[in-house]
Amino acid sequence: MERAAKEENIGALKADLAKAASLVLADFRGLPVKVDTGVRREFRLNGCRYQVVKNTLLGRAVKGTPMEGIESMLAGPTAIAYSFEDPAAPAKIAEQVRLGGSGKWGEPGARNGESWAWPGGQGRSWPG
């Protein structure tokens, strides 16, 4: 990605995060693609935005926003979900994913006989 494109992406993300009511960070490793697609749809239907971001770009984007300080939580592959209206919406959906979703997103809430979740069973959120 060229520097100008990176700066444009950072600016757009910074503008969104400055207006966001909440932010959920998640390590999405191990989440099956079919489930991820359903999760993305669920976030959209609930007025949330969900995207995979590079940690360095996210760290730069939060500077000067109320979310500044989350940089210490940025490790591994990171997906973010945020809402402009309902601060609880991203966390509620992320928690459903963490608990397995009961097949809600096109696949049983199990993988290899075990419950699947955000890796480590953890999402990280702000405020929180």
State the DSSP string of 49-77: EEEEE-HHHHHHHHTTSTTTTGGGG--SS
Backbone phi, psi, residue 110, to 5°: -145, 150
pLDDT in tens, 30-50: 778 888 888 899 899 999 999
Contact 88, 94 (CB under 8 A): no
Token code pair at residue 58? 């996210």
pLDDT of residue 101: 59
Token code pair at residue 125? 């959120």
CATH of domain 3-107: 3.30.70.1730
Contact 52, 28 (CB under 8 A): yes
pLDDT in tens, 55-104: 999 999 988 887 888 888 888 888 899 999 999 999 888 888 777 654 45
Backbone phi, psi, residue 62, to 5°: -80, -15
